[in-house]
Structure 1
Amino acid sequence: MERNLLETIISSEYLLEHVELQDISDAIVMIQQSFQISFHENELADVKIFEDLCNLIHGKINLEHNDDCTSQQAYYKLNRALSDVFNLSKLHLSPETLIEDIIPRKNRIEKVKMLEDILDMRLFLLSPPFWLTCMLIVIFLLSLLAFFIGWKIAISGIAFSLLGFRIADRMGKEIAIKTVGELTDNMVSNNYIKSRRDPNTVNKRELDDVTRSIFIKLFYLSPSALHKEAKFSEY
């Protein structure tokens, strides 16, 4: 008997080939943003395994190779930006420092916006309260069921929930990333080129690992599931 998706994840056997193709498109968007590249129509048609995608990414990046550590550079960039925005001593910050201890709840949205402006990247640092997200999901699902009662009620409910998601995303004040170290990792995976000291260079040895981290973050895959021969779904 075939196991369902949840059982597969729990058993730690969730593989790249289990990820549906329409979901892979989310990873492709992140890869293009992070490496500042673009894929043309049908360019991914011949990508069958993870190594194919990595090779395609390497071929797209025509920057000078510099064998340095992007994570270290991103950490120092973030350290300086946090120190400037919140008037902190860089000596008091470490990868284990809690973001919540740095950014007070008062004016949190404005302060994070200042931080993003200095770094010139979106950090995805804040989120709405969990209870609000759950409530909006319930309203959305109930609205779908409401089509059996009346389409006007259903459309109104869907519109309300979608508007709620948008407002909640903009107004959320909950810290979504715990530590300075985790935020540094997010910077590198979401904005690899911008995280480097010199955005006209790249460490080609890091590209595969950054690509791998994007898939791990989006689909909760284990690193062992993203070996070179890992297959993409064919359906």
Structure 2
Amino acid sequence: MSERPILSIITVCFRDAKNLAATLESIKAVKQGGIEFVIVDGGSDDGTAELVQSYGELVDTFISEPDKGTFDAMNKGIRHSRGKWVIFINAGDGIADPAAFQSIKLTEYADAGLVYGNTVYAGRGEVKPYPEASLQYGLIMACHQSMLFNRDILGDDIFYSERFPLVNEFDLVCRIVAKKHLRMYIDIPVAYFMGGGISSRISWEARRARYFYVAQHFGFRGLIMTGLESLGWLSLPARRK
């Protein structure tokens, strides 16, 4: 077996060949030795398989089969990857700045469970994270796509809950914090985020998942803070400067 990759980039998609093409081009700009690229597709019939095949050896592992949703696909991607670190760059999203991304020396963060940076949002430009106190308001501090997870430190904790179809990434980060795994912020743009994905939808289901996890991790006080913030009666902590 070849040497274990330092990083696995995992992309999940379903019937999204048009946006996947942009992601493939983005990964192409950073793919080098030590980086593994895994695509988990939900069994699309829109030319996704043919598109992936056209990129040849860029994609190390391609899985195309029905799944139970986004987080089932993400967990499948983790199980089929070998990297010491994992990052999720989903269809339509990409690496914000290839040079900056390649400057991240993950070997320097061997003791950290989570490393996260800034995000370039479509139509907004580069945005820095909130402080971790935002978790108490039901808000993940940084874009999920700009987070790198250390599977050697996290072990089985790296896997996502599949309790809800939405916002399970919030639960994962809360668990990392609750178990006191080291978190490190790096002041560079990590991911480009197109937006409009499933977890960005404002729906009763998303709110239900959000409040469930806030109650689980922060109790009644967290529910009150989240409710007051949602009503506009309490402001979130200021973003990092």
**Greater share of strand residues, 1 or 2?**
2
TM-score with structure 2 length normalisation? 0.26
Q: Which has the higher contact order (CA 8 A, sep 6+)?
A: 1
**Greater share of helix residues, 1 or 2?**
1
Larger radius of gyration: 1
TM-score with structure 1 length normalisation? 0.26
